Homo-oligomer: A and B are copies of this chain.
Amino acid sequence: MCEAHAYMERDGREELLLESVDRVEPQADGSFLLVNIFGQQKTVRAPLKRMHLVEHRIVFGS
């Protein structure tokens, strides 16, 4: 499977937000809706910093 794990970067450290993310959907208020392959959802209120898909990583943070 080709999902990625979503992390929040804070003070140089990365904290796991949601594993096995399938869908990332930007919302009108600037947040991101994440939905993983298990149907779990999380809203992230921080900018997207970078994605490295081969490494299965999506990183948010200001």
Contact = CB atoms under 8 A, between A and B. Distances in A.
B54 A3 contact: yes
Question: What secondary structure prevails in chain A residues at the interface with B?
Answer: strand
Contacts of A49: 26
Interface in A44-60: 47-54, 56
A46 to B, nearest CB: 12
A55 to B, nearest CB: 8
A29 to B, nearest CB: 14
A21 to B, nearest CB: 7
Contacts of A54: 1-3, 22, 37
Interface of A: 1-4, 21-26, 37, 47-54, 56
